[in-house]
Structure 1
Amino acid sequence: MAPQTLPHILSFLLLSFSIFSKLGTTTESTASSIAFTTLGRSRYFFDLFFLPTSQNPEEPVAETQLTDGFSVNYNGFFPSLSSSLLSSLLSSSPPSSMDALLYVSERNGSSNIYLDLFVPAKGGGSFLLPARLQFPLLRQSSHLSRVSMKDKPALAGDDLIYVSTHEPSSSPRRSWAAVYSTHLATGQTRRLTPYGVSDFSPAVSPSGNWTAVASSGARGWSGEVEELKVGIFVFRTADGSGRTLVVDHGGWPCWADESTLYFHRQSSDGWWSIYRAKISIGIGVSLVSVDRITPPGFHAFTPAVSAAAPKLIAVATRRSSSQFRHIELIEVGDGGITYVEVTRPVRPNSHHFNPFFSPDASRVGYHRCRGRSNGGSPPLLLESIKSLAPEAFSLFRIDGSFPSFSHDGKRIAFVGLPGVFVVNSDGSDGRREIFSGNAFPTAWDWKREGVIYTSHGPDFATESTNVDIISITLHDDDAKSQPSIKKLTSGGKNNAFPSPSPDGKWVVFRSGRSGHKNLYIMDALEGEAAGLQHLTDGPWSDTMCNWSPDGEWIAFASDRDNPGSGSFAIYMVHPNGTGLRKVVHSGEGGRTNHPWFSPNSKSLVFTSDYAGVSAEPISNPHHYQPYGDIFIANIDGSNIQRLTHNSYEDGTPTWTPLFLEPTDVAESLQGSARCNFDDCHWLNIKGEVTESLHGKSC
């Protein structure tokens, strides 16, 4: 790093600290609430399980659940615990026999790393679970900037090694993911990743002396959905020194011994495969050789190895004979390679993720969704997410797309793609379907109670597709009566994203009637039959519009900087067409979408790839865009703040003046998991046709 670079970055971080500490006093004068959706995330819960590495495939044993069935638990690690660490955790002499599990959990609205200790029952045997001792390992600081994603944990002695996103990067679209070391007895934390660099998927060597990571180096994120352009770096675990690039194309490293690394990458033939790197560690670190382990014909990724059995590799696979990813064991011997299925004989119709070995290699762990089926409709409730400024606003994830609050805050409308639904904001009375067709998004009329605007027709469609604006009027005085539907536009041409003016007279919307998606304003009651105002005009896409509560501005997303590229920025314009200005852009190729005004019209909430990507996409269920966090900013583009930290696709936020108490109601939904998600669509098997929305927008 150049000497002049570090002061610049430190100044940026100090500025971020100042902004975080002022959040809530300068942005909003009264408490409010923000709600957003995450693709699929509200519909599943993960737990960690294990199976023995040696079993009869004809008579498979049942898997053992490791985590407690509470919230979302993933990316496990079986640690070897030092006696000093055990003594500090237990404040007493530890039992002579104890099993342990390290993992990530999203319980209580934020991410943390937990250590569970399992005390064997009397009479011997492990995981009989008469007692579970559970420790959150990272202290919940009151410092606002500590809201972050914590991931991929490992232990090196008494030091916890993990990824965190709590420090902002120095530029847009550069990931905030970095590797840190925390001494668990003292809480002292050291950043091991250099500033200006993004690191993912750390793995600690058997000695604990070295850590390998998948790193993008100083390069920003250019929007890779399938495979990040990362290489394998190795550095000293103690302080991050001796950092050396050993493999220029590879991710998810793991150590077999101090000179052997396994990793995955997409091969030139298109198949994700496991590779083995031999390295030499002396005065420095150097690469000796790289060999491909798995052949073409199936995908293999996210490898794990144990020093106790260095020729045994656990991997997740996708084979042509299954629609699900499964855990397999690969044994590399002198006579060739053998494969043993682990999870498919036990649970053939579930996805299994990111394997890990016990220290003695007798068990292989993984995480999977614990739900029983892909069907059903659980009650719609809000999941409380830890807010940067809880005194200013609460933050919620909702199981529904394009949510919007009625202006008294008592009801929420959202779409199910298909269907439009309404639910009380306190979760009472269940959800009510008010329109069965495919629709997006939702917005409530400011003056006429019970009137909701949406657009009916295909989403992610071309300018000429038949999509029209409709209003839906609820008749609450007669519970048995059906809502009234009125069509406000005619002729299709992709009319969508209606947003009413606060005086109740007008609706701004997006239309492709000119051959390009631009903004128009029409009468709220009579629709375009009463005439149209052409608000924006040009050979680009202006879309996702939102009218400010004070009536002064209309915010929208536009690709006018590079039409057709899929790159969107947020703009604002006065309703009379004057004052056009750009508010937020995450950089060339970046996406910043779905703006929504704060109740006082001084801020915007939106979704953006401003913070890049937080984990290797292949380690997660399918997301069309494995980035996209929720941000807020002032309407002049200043004071950009990141609200969500995860590896999911967060989007379609809304902002209401109603302050909802941040009760963690999601934890009561544990029996409603539906496991309704796909594997990554881009893992093509034998030329199967897959769906990809990368580069597209509604």
Structure 2
Amino acid sequence: MVRKDGTDLHPIATTPAVEDAVSISPDGKFAAYASTAGVYTSNIWLTEIETGHTRNLTNQTGVTGIPESPSGFFAPSWSPCGQWIVFSSDRNTNWTGHDDGIGWEHTQNLSIYAIRPDGTGFREVYNDPAYTHGSPKFSPDGKRIVFYEMTLQDTWDARSAFNVNSMTNQIVSVDFATGTNKIQHTNSSGCKLYPQYVTKDNIGYLVKGGTNEGIRYTSKNTTGISGGMRSPAWSPDGKFVVYEKTDWTSRPLEKKLYSWDPAWEYRFIDTFPNLSPQGKLVYTSKQTSNSSIVTMNPDGSDYKLVFDVDQTNQVDMLGVAQGSAGAFQPSWSYDGEWITFGLGTWFQGRYSSKAWIYRVRANGSDYEQLTGNTTNSGFPSYSPDGSKIVYRVFLPEMGLRVLDLATRETTVLTTERDNLPWFSPNGEWVLFTRNVTDAAQGYFSNYEICVIRPNGSDLTVLTFSAANDAHATWTADGRIMWSTGMWGFQAEAATYDQLFQPYGNIMIMNVDGSNKTMLTNSMWEDSMPLYIPNSFMQ
């Protein structure tokens, strides 16, 4: 909390979990907020500001949803009388991919709920399964609830840089007591979020993206504010509005991050990092450049561009600029002399575009195309002895393939919808991600972590959540780290910007799937982890 003049800053909740969307009670004694503390799933918590006494309001029988559903609770707001807290939740809904289920990333199906501050009286206020409804706020007299309404697909479009400028949703309200008498307050284009009654007859809200981006009002007599602000909130008298100011400057490499494990220092690195036995780091420069292959020492020194994504003229550079094409998943040979990677178009573009397996010398002096033009080949990994490369193919065939570098013969390892393979450090396993949803119905939104022997035996599924488990990598001692969505969205999906999958937390487990442990707990997409010993940082 802080006073409006910027003084008297003091904390309400300071745990290693995600704390978000705080709302102060009308009498100023309590704070309701969303937090992932304790159970990693977002819940509504209540803290008495003077004493610090805290309780979880929604993690209780009759309120939590079925275990296989997302079951998050978000964006709490107090009634003017202080007797109710309203919020949004995706409890008892499905994990559904965008674009009618074919997308890897999920949509979010929110409804509006209410609960009393003592944890009683939980009830659904409004639900329409075809739409999502979020960021509820009471009218000044406490009789109505205003919130944004959008299609499930729009919860993906609203957080995607590709579609936010062209999507449209509206601001609506309903009677709080009955959930009926629905009124639509806007009828214009644009992505509209964070509605709030400024007066009994005027509602303020945010337009995100497009040419009309900024704070807008339903009353034509109120002047809006143009700009790229986020999360606006109005004072009770409607005279002031506070908001977040965004900054899209990319993080610098090696930036120190919050460390959940005090034994390790967490730092930022670009995508698909891989460490050679000799201590050299390679990665895809997706966030910091044009998705080329770059090497450097783990401390950031000896930076070298070893393969420029544009040098073979095989890649659509517009796709590179949009993040859907490039040189992905570099992998070192054991002797540190070669780096293999996939070059081409990925994500949805893989249905119609090709990709190839390449390798390049670590000094950038020579490169070689290893696969032909019949399929989309990508995400390779060297075997520890440097004799083989495992990679995935996509259309007309599916699955994992193993290329023998000496004979140039290719062996079929799997034929399912598999991806992101990595040889284990001892060469005994291949780690990968498999789609386990019903492909016959066109659903591709649930992936699990698997291992298989290089000869095709001992296939084992290691994860079992209804969400996505993916991007698995090995530690040097043979454990597995991966990114999981099993704890659900950490905030309302539509409120994110340029973030495809805003619920990935990093976990670690043994090769048999035992001892699963959380390594991160943030509201962002944490993925592609890599342990680096201190000896390589000096």
Shorter-normalised TM range? 0.7 to 0.9
Q: Distance in 2 between matches of 1:212 and 1:660?
A: 52
* Structure 2 letter corresponding to 1:252: S
Quick check: 1:441 aligned with 2:306? Answer: no
1:205 aligns with 2:103: no
Q: Secondary structure at the match of 2:217?
A: strand
Number of residue-to-residue matches in the alignment: 480
Q: 2: distance between equivalents of 1:462 and 1:294?
A: 39
The answer as to whether partners of 1:520 and 1:534 remain within 8 angstroms in 2 is yes
> What is the CA-CA distance between 1:658 and the residue it aligns to?
1.7
- Candidates 418, 422, 447, aligned match of 1:568: 447
1:253 and 1:610 mapped to 2: Cα distance?
25
Q: What is the identity, as a one-letter code, of the residue corresponding to 1:396?
A: R
In the alignment, which residue of structure 2 is the partner of 1:41?
A: none
Identity of aligned residues (%): 24
**Corresponding letter in the other structure for 2:138:** W
CA, structure 1 residues 650+341, in 2 after alignment: closer, same or farther (shift >3 Å)? Answer: farther
Cα distance in 1 for partners of 2:342, 2:174 equals 54
Amino acid at match of 1:390: P
User: Corresponding residue for 1:368?
Assistant: 245
With normalisation by structure 1, the TM-score equals: 0.63
What is the CA–CA distance in structure 1 between the aligned matches of 2:464 and 2:423, rounded to whole Å?
20
- The residue number in structure 1 matching 2:162 is none
Q: Does 1:253 align with 2:126?
A: no
Change (3 A) 1:215 1:463: closer
Residue pairs, 1:282-681, within 5 angstroms: 286-287=178-179, 289-306=181-198, 309-317=199-207, 322-323=210-211, 325-331=213-219, 338=220, 340-344=222-226, 347=227, 351-370=228-247, 379-387=252-260, 389-391=261-263, 393-398=264-269, 400-416=270-286, 417-428=290-301, 432=305, 434-437=307-310, 438-447=326-335, 449-460=336-347, 461-462=349-350, 465-475=353-363, 482-512=364-394, 515-524=396-405, 526=406, 530-536=408-414, 538=415, 540-559=416-435, 562-563=438-439, 565-566=443-444, 567-587=446-466, 590-601=467-478, 603-651=479-527, 653-659=528-534
Measure the CA separation in 2 of the matches of 1:661 and 1:330.
58
1:315 CA drift (Å): 0.5
**Cα deviations by residue, 1:442-466 (Å, 9 ceiling, x for unpaired):** 111222x252211111122447743
User: Can you give the 5+ residue segments of structure 2 that lack an aligned partner in the other structure?
Assistant: 66-71, 99-104, 155-166, 311-325
* In structure 2, C-alpha distance between the alignment counterparts of 1:267 and 1:512, rounded to whole Å: 30
Change (3 A) 1:341 1:599: farther
What do residues 644-663 of structure 1 show as CA deviations (whole Å, max 9, x unaligned)?
33443333x1333524999x
Alpha-carbon deviation of 1:424? 2.8
Contact (CA 8 Å) 1:199, 1:214: kept in 2 or not? yes
Of 110, 118, 130 in structure 2, the residue corresponding to residue 230 of structure 1 is: 110
Q: Is the 8 A contact 1:254 1:262 kept in 2?
A: yes
Answer whether contact 1:410 1:426 (CA < 8 A) is retained: no
For residues 497-525 of structure 1, what are the alpha-carbon distances to aligned partners after superposition, in whole Å with 9 as ceiling and x for unaligned?
11111222222111347x2222122234x
Q: Of residues 23, 29, 33 in structure 2, which corresponds to 1:162?
A: 33
1:562 Cα deviation (Å)? 3.1
How far residue 572 of structure 1 moved from its aligned partner, in angstroms, is 0.7
Give the partner amino acid of 1:496. Answer: G
Q: Secondary structure at the match of 2:181?
A: strand
Aligned residue type for 2:113: F
For each residue in 1:266-316, what CA deviation from the matched residue of structure 2 results, as whole angstroms up to 9, or x when unmatched? Answer: 279984211122334xxxxx446321111254443220234xx33332101
Checking the alignment, whether the CA contact within 8 Å between 2:470 and 2:483 is kept in structure 1 is yes
Call closer, same or farther: CA 1:289–1:227 in 2, change over 3 Å.
Answer: farther
Question: Which residue of the other structure, out of 149, 159, 169, is the alignment partner of 1:265?
Answer: 149
Are residues 1:148 and 2:17 paired?
Answer: yes
Q: CA deviation at 1:630?
A: 2.2
Match of 2:160 in 1: none
Rounded Cα–Cα distance in structure 2 between residues aligned with 1:204 and 1:661? 52
Structure 1 segment 77-92 matched on structure 2, within 5 A: none
Q: Contact between 1:502 and 1:551, CA under 8 Å: does it hold in 2?
A: yes
Matches within 5 A, 1:677-688: none
Pair 576,464 (structure 1): closer, same or farther in 2 beyond 3 Å? farther
Change (3 A) 1:267 1:599: closer
Deviations 1:351-405 (A, max 9, x none): 322211123321212223135xx7xx77423342322x333x443332x222222
Change (3 A) 1:263 1:610: same
The code of the aligned residue for 2:45 comes to Y
AA in 1 matched with 2:344: G
Deviation at 1:148, TM superposition (A): 1.8
Q: Distance in 2 between matches of 1:155 and 1:606?
A: 37
> SS at 2:231's partner residue?
strand
Q: What's the offset of the Cα at 1:328?
A: 0.8
| Contact 2:293–2:309 (8 Å) recurs in 1 | yes
The one-letter amino acid of 2:122's match is R
Please list, as runs of the form range in 1=range in 2, the aligned pairs for 1:104-253 lying within 5 A after superposition.
115-117=1-3, 127=5, 132-140=7-15, 147-156=16-25, 157-168=28-39, 176-195=41-60, 196-197=64-65, 198-219=72-93, 221-223=95-97, 228-237=108-117, 239-249=118-128, 250-253=133-136
Deviation at 1:162, TM superposition (A): 0.7
Matched residue SS, 2:267? strand
Q: Check 1:390–1:408 CA distance in 2 against 1; reply closer, same or farther (3 A cut).
A: farther
- Cα separation, partners in 2 of 1:341 and 1:648, compared to 1, 3 Å: farther
Change in CA separation of 1:390 and 1:410 when aligned onto 2, cut-off 3 Å: farther
Cα 1:301–1:429 change in 2 (3 A) is same
**2:494 partner SS:** helix
Counterparts in 2 of 1:406 and 1:325: CA distance versus 1, 3 Å: farther
Residues 14-33 of structure 1 mapped to structure 2, 5 A cutoff: none
Q: Assess, with a 3 A threshold, how the Cα gap between structure 1 residues 326 and 363 changes in structure 2: closer, same or farther.
A: same
C-alpha contact (below 8 Å) 2:169/2:189 kept by paired residues: no
Alpha carbons 1:379, 1:431 under 8 Å: kept: no
Contact 1:434 1:483 in 2 (8 A): no
Distance 1:287 1:559 in 2: 39
Q: CA separation of 1:259/1:466 partners in 2, compared to 1, >3 Å: closer, same or farther?
A: closer
How many angstroms does 1:546 deviate by?
0.7
Q: CA RMSD in A?
A: 3.0
Alignment partners' CA distance in 2, 1:186 and 1:625: 37
Question: Which string of whole-angstrom CA distances, capped at 9 and with x for unpartnered residues, describes residues 573-600 of structure 1?
Answer: 111221111111322xx32222111221
Alpha-carbon contact 1:550-1:600 (below 8 Å) kept:
no
Larger radius of gyration: 1
Larger relative CO (CA 8 A, sep 6+): 1 or 2?
1
